[in-house]
Homo-oligomer: A and B are copies of this chain.
Amino acid sequence: MSLPVAKDPMARRRSSATSTCSSSSYTDTSSDDEGVSPREKVQKSSKGFTDFCVKNIGQASFGRREIEIAEQEMPGIIALRKRAEADKPLERAKIVGCTHINAQTAVLIETLVALGASVRWAPCNIYSTQNEVAAALAEVGIPVFAWKGETEDDFWWCIDRCVQADGWQPNMILDDGGDATHLMLKKYPATFNLIKGIVEESVTGVHRLYQLAKAGKLSVPAMNVNDSVTKTKFDNLYSCRESILDALKRSTDVMFGGKQALVCGYGEVGKGCCSALKGMGSVVYVTEIDPICALQACMDGFRVVKMNEVIRNVDILVTATGNKNVVTREHMDKLKNGCIVCNMGHSNTEIDVQSLRSPELNWEKVRSQVDHVIWPDGKRIVLLAEGRLVNLSCSSIPSFVVSITAATQALALIELFNASPGRYKSDVYLLPKKMDEYVASLHLPTFDAHLTELTDEQAKYMGLNKAGPFKPNYYRY
């Protein structure tokens, strides 16, 4: 489904304010320095570096281990680092970064540095920073301004510290949500106009860039990496195929075999959810608005129904539409006792959770991210993550998936930074297909996969360059 856009730029940051129910998160549980803000503390790395602001520089070694573990599952970005390290294709690039800060993005950040870039980094979300990772980055001399639990004011202060600094004239932006772009455009328009390019990853940020371009306010080239084929398939189909099982199991220990599940939406996310649940022996129904996707669901062996045909029978209800109020109070009134309800699709809009916050219903928190909502007759539904994205809240995202996104981001930065003048106008571009193919090729060794090469004769017959691109732009994969 084409995902819609949150109107409020802060919504994205708040909506993914998730204390995950994953067992694998390394949360720091240290006593809290008595609530002193990091901004008020004097901070210094073991080597005397001070141009950063994190929660606790002392956690650097824990963070370093996390980064090293992530590197193991991020073969593509590491391969890119090795291949391009000698060339230093980002030499003289000065990048303002604004993304989540965790072990996986740290691998990207350190790759950019290895490729020659100078960077300054802030978080794109007030809750998602892994403090020990931020510490590890600071410890090796990377200017990072980030901690978990920032205030709104802290948030903008951190970005500001990345844009403005002594002797620092940024020329690239790597953004995830558009906030660094927004701040620079509003507050430092002169600096903004000297930027060589913006790389934006998120649905929200890309939407804002297209709006800026349409309004004639985008004065620099931007690359939309959100819609690259490799990133899209992995973020949606393949990643969700795994995370739907993980999220449901970790939070509820439900047995999938024989259960009846309803998946709303048969886009890439829905396809991944359906495939996984069917593989585990669930009976899966689909709702769709688009007849083409509906026909695909049929051919893949799923009954396409209207919600009310099966709503009384299902054990698991998953939304994956990108739309709002797909599951209404009226639907939930009909659910049977014990039904699990969760959102895999978009933001927190798909399930009308608000309708459940009414006096006649009791909420009982049974675990982190798991609420029982109890009807007057005793019926309970099991609501996960209060209707927010359950794959973000209750499962982990494989580093391999992040590696693909990170490699795409790095390549987009290289492309924009090194493009000959005039190659890119002040507009929003998709990554050239050849680079999509290159990202994919970086990840094949993980699977010990071996590509076949075209012979000269075959390339000629097909009208292709032996090095690609191998498909027309409209190819659907």
Contact = CB atoms under 8 A, between A and B. Distances in A.
Interface of A: 1-2, 4, 21-24, 65, 69, 72-73, 227, 229-230, 232-234, 238, 241-242, 245-246, 249-260, 276, 278-283, 287-307, 309, 313, 322-326, 337-338, 349, 366-368, 395-396, 398-401, 436-438, 440-441, 443-444, 446-455, 457-458, 461-463, 468, 470-472, 474-477
A184 to B, nearest CB: 28
A425 B47 CA distance: 70
B258 A298 contact: yes
Given A290-B470, A291-B440, A396-B253, A301 B282 contact: yes
25 contacts: A1-B471, A23-B23, A241-B257, A246-B250, A255-B399, A255-B400, A255-B401, A279-B279, A281-B298, A289-B470, A290-B437, A290-B468, A291-B441, A291-B451, A292-B436, A292-B440, A295-B444, A296-B477, A306-B452, A309-B450, A323-B461, A324-B458, A325-B455, A325-B457, A476-B476
A138 B27 CA distance: 36
A266 B470 CA distance: 12
Among A255, A304, A367, the one with the most B-chain Cβ atoms within 10 Å of its Cβ is: A255
A320 to B, nearest CB: 13
A477 B256 contact: no
A287 B452 CA distance: 6
Contacts of A69: 366
Nearest to A230: B292
A1 B458 CA distance: 13
Nearest to A454: B289
A227 B395 CA distance: 36
A303 to B, nearest CB: 6
Contacts of A230: 292, 295
Contacts of A470: 289-290, 292-293
Contacts of A337: 72
A439 to B, nearest CB: 8
B280 A242 contact: yes
A73 B298 contact: no
A224 to B, nearest CB: 11
Contacts of A257: 238, 241-242, 298-301
B283 A256 contact: no
Contact of A288 (B229, B287, B306, B451): B451
A87 to B, nearest CB: 21
A311 to B, nearest CB: 12
A300 to B, nearest CB: 6
A284 to B, nearest CB: 8
A94 B325 CA distance: 49
A61 to B, nearest CB: 13
Contacts of A287: 452
A300 B251 CA distance: 23
A437 B2 contact: no
Contact of A289 (B294, B296, B446, B451): B451
A400 B258 CA distance: 11
B447 A258 contact: yes
A301 B301 CA distance: 12
